[in-house]
Structure 1
Amino acid sequence: MMEVAIIGSGISGLSVAHHLKKAGVEVKVFEKEEVLGGNIQSEYIDGYLCELGPQTVLADSKMEDFLKDLHLEPIYANPSSKKRYIYKKGRLVALPLSPLEFITSPFLSFSGKLRLLREPFVPKSPKKEESIAEFVRRRFGKEFLDYVVAPFVSGVYAGDPEELSVKYAVRKVYELEERYGSVIRGAIKLKALGPSGKLISFKDGNKTLINKLSEKLEVLKGNVVLRIRRKDEFFLLDTKEGKFSAKAVVVATPSTSASYLLRDLSWSVSEEFDKIYYAPVLVMHISVNAGSLPEGFGFLVPRREGKRILGVIFSSQLFAGRSPKGKDLLTLYLGGATDPQIVDYSDEAVVSIVEKELKEILKIEHFEIIRITRWKKGIPQYTLGYGRYLDLANSIEKEQPGLFLTGNYLYGVSVADCIRASYQVAQRVLEFLELKKGAVV
């Protein structure tokens, strides 16, 4: 019998495994695929380094401690990456970086600026829960929603602001209103808006993080877990390669897989988790001649502009060494909750759309396709009423001592969110095993 079985080798599962291994716990990681890392995948193709999933990691002090623990050196984004663009009325416009810049720049109309200045005086809504769109229209106005927040939601969640819950998808913003009665007033007081850290990656891409985490762990690749059952004080795992038993189990898979695995432990939780919606995302890597792009991180495209591209990252400007000399690498995103069908289009149809839109937006006539990647279940959507899923996760953990759930459908969709959560999850596992408290945090 092992002490802890971890199901799933994405960043959530491997990070928890790392903490437990460091604390002296016997851990086995089960992964149904032959390739580790979930949607964190980096590939070299003809001299281009392509990130098929997350492009960057936001490194705060906790992340920096985590990397030091792994003896892993990050690379930092080019300072010019602070400059970002929004496609507005036929051209790329630099996005203001502070509340003051929004007021002084021509990005917003005069009426849009007046609406922004009113925000500190807008009362709270009597509604128990609002969508991001409802919240932003009420506090900042429609123009700010259309040209700032909606593109941001597309860039982070590939989501629909009319469907996502402000309380669960952007909790930091929600809490500013709750605590201070105003987002702007609270943000100024706490300096809480904008990234709280530096954008990083690694010389050979984000997959480096997965490789480093897994190198000292026992990972059973290609060994799918078919069933989890409880027997007295421990768990039985039926897998492709045989039966295993464990004192504790950490399910670190997407909610759809967790739904399947939990069916013998709680049929009701299993059914509900299967309803969590993941927005599909199509990622396209293309090459253009160097000098074809404005300087910066990239651009987002508001849906009201009538384009299919959600956004584009200037990958080789963001981090050095991502493309051969004389070439630039672009990473394009399409699909999401507002345009899911495009993920099922043929390569030819997608290329035709991209060719037309890049010509309009960047004036690029020719490009070379490096890779097209389709994530049919890309990013979990923290929709209105999402709290019920978090409550269900808590309830099954209480009903089944020794069972722990983690993943980007519970603690936030970013890599940094998953790593921060891993400390808490590992600590709870250690306390369940009655080992030395404080070994992780």
Structure 2
Amino acid sequence: MVAAAATMATAAPPLCAPRALARPRRGSVRCAVVSDATEAPAAPGARLSADCVVVGGGISGLCTAQALATRHGVSDVLVTEARARPGGNITTVERPDEGYLWEEGPNSFQPSDPVLTMAVDSGLKDDLVFGDPNAPRFVLWEGKLRPVPSKPADLPFFDLMSIPGKLRAGLGALGIRPPPPGREESVEEFVRRNLGAEVFERLIEPFCSGVYAGDPSKLSMKAAFGKVWRLEEAGGSIIGGTIKTIQERGKNPKPERDPRLPKPKGQTVASFRKGLAMLPNAITSRLGSKVKLSWKLTSITKSDSKGYVLVYETPEGIVSVQAKSVIMTIPSYVASDILRPLSGDAADALSRFYYPPVAAVTVSYPMNAIRKECLIDGELQGFGQLHPRSQGVETLGTIYSSSLFPNRAPAGRVLLLNYIGGATNTGIVSKSESELVEAVDRDLRKMLINPRAVDPLVLGVRVWPQAIPQFLVGHLDLLDAAKSALNLGGYDGLFLGGNYVAGVALGRCVEGAYESASQISEFLTKYAYK
């Protein structure tokens, strides 16, 4: 658990954010889709039909549509997006004349086989880029950036934890710790009980802040980190569960791996040559006129026959769509408003998920602004750094974008993506762009940037007022309540998807899309025989 948590600690920034307040900066070029996605506009008052309507053209919705086609042969699909561009929270920005390319939403993804499959099926195999698995990750502790162990062999030598803290973690992982309390635990409760205070305060707390922008005293261990939670459930302890999992894998080996997929080396993260926006753009191009942009869903009703009728406001006027099945991949609070006429109970449950604000602040400094003690062979190397809330800095964490992937900044410059805000700092929504930049720059000068260095070049400030759904204690119960209300109401074929269902990481959104596609395909197969 210590090694696994440490490996994740700086690998993933806040990842899913549905809407933004900031405007594009002058001179920036946003990656956009040029395809036939808006061809063949529907006539005003038109009535279309589809086997499945995917509401929401973010990464979850687009991947669900592509998975239906590639895995299940379901091609009669319509993807509708209220905004004028696809991709949802994925926001890649480029200044090609200056040599900068950066992200203002998610920054990268864990290269699991489902994500790699989606990339390969989208024609992006040759555009994949991977971070150096040996690059260090850091946590700020007592004024110093301290490397996090990336593999078990590093555990005895890293100075982020004391020897007593390491011993406490090891004994706890073996099962020498208090028993489970018999109720749903928060992340803080689970980690303190199993691994001790130091693992929580120096590894897991900053990880929760950096990935969920959340409060670990309120996040659910079962919902947010289910794989680790299940280890204790299955084996009586984290180590016991790990051993049992390995034994079960030996008895039930995985199917042969798709030979088309690249093989990442070690624990790393990935992106694309021209940023994450390449994935939704490529899927949108492949789906073509099946993707409808600037289509705002105003109502959904049960059809007199089978399926549903969805009514949209579109650039061409009011359009209705008859659908055998529907999946809502929009944020839960948007789905709540749309579904309330169908099921008040489902709408009430969906309205209770919490999305705190997060700001992404992208700045660049000359290489000579980096403190000498933070350089390796004269370069800034590494994935990035996370900041525990106890260490007196406001910024949640910093991604070393120009070190992580190639061609993100011109020679002699470093590009840093900083996240600020979250569940414990919601006041960022009242701050100006300059105040956010000042807070980030002030924090960086405490540990990474020379105090007397020149002011940073500010490339982007984007505030996501409702950013990342929080998997709080009771999250899974709320989700089950929403699904059960729809089922009890007789709304078969109406599915819920997206990051509040599958998980906040981009990779989990893709994996969830494959899972949703399987459920929809199974329903459509049954539908055909009714």
TM-based fold match above 0.5: yes
Alpha carbons of structure 1 residues 247 and 347: separation in structure 2 relative to 1, 3 Å = same
Higher strand share: 1
Residue 376 of structure 1: aligned partner: 465
Residue 298 of structure 2: aligned partner: 226
Question: Is the Cα contact below 8 Å between 1:289 and 1:326 reproduced in 2?
Answer: yes
Question: SS where residue 302 of structure 2 aligns?
Answer: strand
Alpha carbons of structure 1 residues 377 and 196: separation in structure 2 relative to 1, 3 Å = farther
The letter for the 1-side match of 2:164 is: S
Say if 2:397 is the partner of 1:311.
yes
What is the Cα deviation at residue 81 of structure 1? 5.8
What is the Cα deviation at residue 67 of structure 1? 2.2
Say if 2:92 is the partner of 1:42.
yes
The letter for the 2-side match of 1:225 is: L
- The structure 2 residue matched to 1:214, chosen from 284, 296, 299, is 284
Question: Is the Cα contact below 8 Å between 1:76 and 1:198 reproduced in 2?
Answer: no
- The structure 2 residue matched to 1:12, chosen from 57, 60, 68, is 60
The letter for the 2-side match of 1:9 is: G
Q: For the residues of structure 1 that align with 2:131 and 2:229, how far apart are their CA atoms?
A: 31
Residue 160 of structure 2: aligned partner: 107
Residue 320 of structure 1: aligned partner: 406
How do 1:386-397 residues align onto structure 2 when only pairs under 5 Å count? 386-397=475-486
Residue 112 of structure 2: aligned partner: 60
Question: Is the Cα contact below 8 Å between 1:16 and 1:423 reproduced in 2?
Answer: yes
What is the Cα deviation at residue 429 of structure 1? 1.4
Alpha carbons of structure 1 residues 436 and 20: separation in structure 2 relative to 1, 3 Å = farther
Residue 146 of structure 1: aligned partner: 201
Residue 240 of structure 1: aligned partner: 313
Question: SS where residue 92 of structure 1 aligns?
Answer: strand
Residue 79 of structure 2: aligned partner: 29
The letter for the 1-side match of 2:410 is: P
Question: SS where residue 406 of structure 2 aligns?
Answer: coil
- Structure 1 segments, 4+ long, off by >6 Å, are none
Question: SS where residue 365 of structure 2 aligns?
Answer: strand
Question: Is the Cα contact below 8 Å between 2:234 and 2:241 reproduced in 1?
Answer: yes
The letter for the 2-side match of 1:64 is: L
Say if 2:205 is the partner of 1:205.
no
Question: Is the Cα contact below 8 Å between 1:158 and 1:281 reproduced in 2?
Answer: yes
What is the Cα deviation at residue 100 of structure 1? 4.9
Residue 131 of structure 1: aligned partner: 186
What is the Cα deviation at residue 250 of structure 1? 1.1
Matched residue count = 435
Question: Is the Cα contact below 8 Å between 2:133 and 2:267 reproduced in 1?
Answer: no
Q: Which piece of structure 1 moves more, 349-358 or 26-35?
A: 349-358
Q: For the residues of structure 1 that align with 2:517 and 2:449, how far apart are their CA atoms?
A: 50
Question: SS where residue 329 of structure 1 aligns?
Answer: strand
Residue 297 of structure 1: aligned partner: 383
Question: SS where residue 356 of structure 2 aligns?
Answer: strand
Alpha carbons of structure 1 residues 393 and 236: separation in structure 2 relative to 1, 3 Å = same
Residue 337 of structure 2: aligned partner: 260
- The structure 1 residue matched to 2:504, chosen from 406, 410, 413, is 413
Question: SS where residue 218 of structure 2 aligns?
Answer: coil
Question: SS where residue 105 of structure 2 aligns?
Answer: coil
Question: Is the Cα contact below 8 Å between 1:7 and 1:13 reproduced in 2?
Answer: yes
- The structure 1 residue matched to 2:124, chosen from 72, 83, 88, is 72
Question: SS where residue 500 of structure 2 aligns?
Answer: coil
What is the Cα deviation at residue 360 of structure 1? 1.0
How big is each residue's C-alpha offset from its partner over 1:186-205, in whole Å with a ceiling of 9 and x where there is no partner?
A: 3466579xx98642110110
How big is each residue's C-alpha offset from its partner over 1:140-183, in whole Å with a ceiling of 9 and x where there is no partner?
A: 11121111000111111011100000000000110111112222
How do 1:345-360 residues align onto structure 2 when only pairs under 5 Å count? 345-360=431-446
Residue 517 of structure 2: aligned partner: 426
Say if 2:199 is the partner of 1:122.
no
Question: Is the Cα contact below 8 Å between 1:157 and 1:379 reproduced in 2?
Answer: yes
Question: Is the Cα contact below 8 Å between 1:397 and 1:405 reproduced in 2?
Answer: no
Q: Which piece of structure 1 moves more, 99-108 or 299-308?
A: 99-108
The letter for the 1-side match of 2:301 is: R
Question: SS where residue 178 of structure 1 aligns?
Answer: helix
The letter for the 1-side match of 2:193 is: R
Say if 2:103 is the partner of 1:51.
yes
Give the gaps of 5 or more residues in structure 2.
Answer: 1-48, 248-264
How big is each residue's C-alpha offset from its partner over 1:47-105, in whole Å with a ceiling of 9 and x where there is no partner?
A: 21111111111112232222222221243333266410011101111112234533333
TM-score by length of 2: 0.78
Q: For the residues of structure 1 that align with 2:498 and 2:134, how far apart are their CA atoms?
A: 28
Question: SS where residue 465 of structure 2 aligns?
Answer: strand
Give the gaps of 5 or more residues in structure 1.
Answer: none
Q: For the residues of structure 1 that align with 2:55 and 2:273, how far apart are their CA atoms?
A: 28
Question: Is the Cα contact below 8 Å between 2:235 and 2:242 reproduced in 1?
Answer: no
